[in-house]
Amino acid sequence: MSVLLSRADPPRLVSGSRRRSRLPQAFLVPAIAVLVLALGYPLGRQVVMSLQEYGLAQQFGRPAPWVGLANYQALVTDSYLWAVVLRSVMFCLVNAAVTMMLGVAVAVLLTKVSRWVRILTQSGLLLAWAMPVLAALTIWQWIFDSQYGIVNWLLTRLGFESYAGHAWLIDPLSFYLVATVVVVWMSVPFVVFTVYAALTQVPTSTVEAAEIDGAGAWQRFRFVVVPSIRPVLLVVGLLQVIWDLRVFTQIYVLQEAGGISTETNLIGTYVYRLGIAEGQFGVASAVAIFMLALTVVLTFGYVRRMLRTEDA
Amino acid sequence: MTAVLDAPSEAVATRPAAPNRRKPQRFRRAMLNLLALLVFGCSAFPVYWMVNSSLLPANRIRSVEPTWFPAPATLDHYRRVFTEGSFTSSLRISLLVTAATLVFALVFAFLAALAVSRFRFTGRRQFVIAVLVIQMIPAEGLFISQYKMLEGWNLLNSVTGLTLVYVAGVLPFTIWTLRGFVDGIPVELEEAAMVDGCSRTRAFFSITFPLLAPGLVATGVFAFIQAWNEFTLALVVMTRPDGHTLPIWLRTFTDVNRAADWGGIMAGSTLIAVPVVIFFLVVQGRMAAGLVSGAVKG
């Protein structure tokens, strides 16, 4: 992640030939073309669609009438959307917080254990990190399977007889528990690796100086280590928030497996059900725009900070 | 968690200097090791469980008492995955899309990173900011209109269409990452070569490019993993069964065989995971080598 934070040195190599060369701009053309074509254009089109009545009839060729902000109005007054938004934000914050806390704790732990234990733990985390999301989902579905899942077996063994044959995905709360386990399991390794790398960069002399000055273990961590890895923590935390807010795959797949979707929809799956499944592209676009706006709000501060780093 | 972590160490540390100070420290180290091993267990066990289940005969999987080791191992599930259903055709689609995404994303990002990192020109700052902002846009907030766009261009269910949205999806990150790698290679190295009479192009290709190779590998692996694992857009764009990528194949396979064929499902999961794991392990060492911050000293 240090990559993301690297300051923009004023590049000086070719300052002499600045005037005549169009080369750098030419280098950007392919990237810009793809970004405009596959992100910029759909984004514009999405804004347009969100202002139109675009349903199944339009899907079959009828022209789409402009309806102004009617789609948004319908949404803002729809209590279901607010339930979905609230759920998404809660899910995002809980998952990001749990992931960050566990990740930082494990990273600190790794600096304090024997070498072989560290390498072993790192390889385990690497394995979890490397799992494709769909593979991870099927694994956890199997682990939480009602009949032959190992979780129910374990709980029954521990004396919770009622968990024999317990279906985890039918109740919204335990549905989110399973989803959180999958999301956290998959995201913690990334946090551990980046934070651990940052921790090894903290100069030992500073920490030792604080120790000589009488700072306890917690104080050393809080006032010496945390400030020096702060940039990394910020970036990693921001990424967690973004990733967990847009979570789609985990929820969608678990919904398909468990059979409940209305009670468990988050923004991503709601957009999918509205648009792809029901063909209400106008309303779905409005929700998607709403989701983008929410992302901007949640990440605005972080992005501005990063841009400032860029300016420096 | 940190509190839990620190509690025992605190207790040990504040104990007045005992005649034998090393013993409590060794005890503390042992406890921490144990905790780390628990972390190892939590992260590795599900993966082990997948492989284990994929090798067990069906009657062992469908038993209330779990079987911890694939002692009577069987490859039946793998054989079935390969011979029945559409695994091979999905594999072909996945390979195609992944390879195309990898190549285009790398080339385009390489050029852009080069421009941004080594040149100063009008619009450079705007481009950097745009990339940073675009990177924050969640793909899940755009798939509706990307679907409509590809539908309009008759690119639904086509490798070209999926590749297009994939390349756009991974480009911002690949540009950022590669740019960091190029920044990390001191311009002084190139300048020195130019002083010695190299042309700028030659200086770049003989000095900087080799140093950049690890960065290209790391970035390429990132693009590979993204495209190989991607689910949402593949679900939306590739609606026909003969266009399914592997993640979509695995999901439909799970659906069709719900609760009946966990062995086959785990075999399929294992097959999808293996290339990613291998790639991850291959670049582990190179990632570190990519940071050549020490190339120019003092």
pLDDT in tens, B81-101: 898 878 999 999 999 999 999
The percent of residues in chain A predicted with pLDDT above 90, rounded, is 42
Look at A13 and B118 and tell me if their CB atoms are within 8 Å. yes
Q: Let me know if A64 is exposed, middle or buried by CB neighbors in 10 A (0-12, 13-18, 19+).
A: middle
Using CB atoms and an 8 Å cut-off, which of residues 30-59 of chain B contact chain A?
Answer: 32-33, 35-37, 39-44, 46-47, 49-50, 53
* Predicted local distance difference test score (pLDDT) of residue B252: 86
What does the pLDDT average to over A280-291?
90
What does the pLDDT average to over B10-15?
44
Of the residues A5, A18, A110, A134, the best mutation for testing chain B's interface (the one with the most B CB atoms within 10 Å of its CB) is A134
What does the pLDDT average to over B62-75?
86
pLDDT confidence band for B284 (50 / 70 / 90) = low
Using CB atoms and an 8 Å cut-off, which of residues 257-276 of chain B contact chain A?
Answer: 258-259, 262, 265-266, 268-270, 272-273, 276
* Predicted local distance difference test score (pLDDT) of residue A190: 86
Range with top average pLDDT, A210-224, B19-33, B45-59: B45-59
Look at A272 and B143 and tell me if their CB atoms are within 8 Å. yes
The span from the CA of B191 to the CA of B180, in Å, is 19
Tens-place pLDDT, residues A158-188: 988 888 888 898 889 999 999 999 999 999 9
Chain B hits for A135, CB-CB cut-off 8 Å, are 50, 250, 269-270, 272-273
Of A4, A9, A288, the CB nearest to B144: A288
Q: Does B129 reach chain A within 8 Å, measured CB to CB?
A: yes
| Residue, of B3 and B19, whose pLDDT is higher | B19
Domains of chain B, each with CATH number or no CATH: 2-74 (no CATH), 80-295 (1.10.3720.10)
Angle between helices B22-55 and B262-290 in degrees, nearest 10: 130
Cα–Cα distances (Å) from A146 to A151, B252, B264, in that order, read 9, 20, 18
Residue of B nearest to A139 (CA): B50
The span from the CA of A167 to the CA of B122, in Å, is 60
* Predicted local distance difference test score (pLDDT) of residue B105: 95
pLDDT confidence band for B260 (50 / 70 / 90) = low
From B174-178, B234-238, B255-259, the region with the lowest mean pLDDT: B255-259
From A215-219, A268-272, B10-14, the region with the lowest mean pLDDT: B10-14
What are A166-174's contacts with CB under 8 Å, separation 24+? A167/A258, A168/A144, A168/A258, A169/A144, A169/A254, A169/A257, A169/A258, A169/A259, A169/A260, A170/A258, A170/A259, A170/A260, A172/A260, A172/A263, A172/A264
From A53-67, B96-110, B145-159, B253-267, the region with the lowest mean pLDDT: B253-267
From A1-15, A291-305, B227-241, B267-281, the region with the lowest mean pLDDT: A1-15
DSSP calls for chain B: -HHHHHHHHHHHHHS---S--HHHHHHHHHHHHHHHHHHHHHHHHHHHHHHHHHHS-HHHHTSSS---S-TT---HHHHHHHHSTTHHHHHHHHHHHHHHHHHHHHHHHHHHHHHHHH---TTHHHHHHHHHHHHHS-GGGTHHHHHHHHHHTT-TT-HHHHHHHHHHHHHHHHHHHHHHHHHHS-HHHHHHHHHTT--HHHHIIIIIHHHHHHHHHHHHHHHHHHHHH--HHHHHH--SGGG--HHHHHHHHHHHTTTT-HHHHHHHHHHHHHHHHHHHHHHHHHHHHH--GGGS--
* Predicted local distance difference test score (pLDDT) of residue B205: 85
Residue of B nearest to A279 (CA): B144
Chain B hits for A45, CB-CB cut-off 8 Å, are 145, 148-149
Q: Does B289 reach chain A within 8 Å, measured CB to CB?
A: no
| Residue, of A59 and A142, whose pLDDT is higher | A142
Chain B hits for A149, CB-CB cut-off 8 Å, are none
pLDDT confidence band for A28 (50 / 70 / 90) = very high
Of the residues A25, A35, A92, A252, the best mutation for testing chain B's interface (the one with the most B CB atoms within 10 Å of its CB) is A35
Range with top average pLDDT, A141-150, B47-56, B135-144: B47-56
* Predicted local distance difference test score (pLDDT) of residue B259: 57
B112-143 burial: b if 16+ Cβ within 10 Å, else e: bbbbbbbbbbeebeebbeebbebbbbbbbbbb
What count of other Cβ atoms lies within 10 Å of the Cβ of residue A215?
A: 16
**Nearest chain B Cα distance for residue A105, angstroms:** 5
Of A185, A295, A303, the CB nearest to B132: A303
Tens-place pLDDT, residues A67-99: 888 889 988 898 998 999 999 999 999 999 999
ipTM: 0.85
From A40-49, A234-243, B43-52, B139-148, the region with the lowest mean pLDDT: A234-243
The span from the CA of B49 to the CA of A153, in Å, is 14
Look at A257 and B254 and tell me if their CB atoms are within 8 Å. yes
Chain A hits for B27, CB-CB cut-off 8 Å, are none
* Predicted local distance difference test score (pLDDT) of residue A231: 80
The span from the CA of A68 to the CA of A76, in Å, is 14
Chain-wide mean pLDDT for chain A?
86
Q: Does B140 reach chain A within 8 Å, measured CB to CB?
A: yes
* Predicted local distance difference test score (pLDDT) of residue A216: 86
The span from the CA of B269 to the CA of B54, in Å, is 9
Chain-wide mean pLDDT for chain B?
83
**Nearest chain B Cα distance for residue A69, angstroms:** 18
Q: Does domain A52-311 have CATH number 1.10.3720.10?
A: yes
From A6-15, A117-126, B73-82, the region with the lowest mean pLDDT: A6-15
Tens-place pLDDT, residues A206-265: 888 888 888 888 888 888 889 988 888 887 888 788 888 888 999 999 998 876 788 899
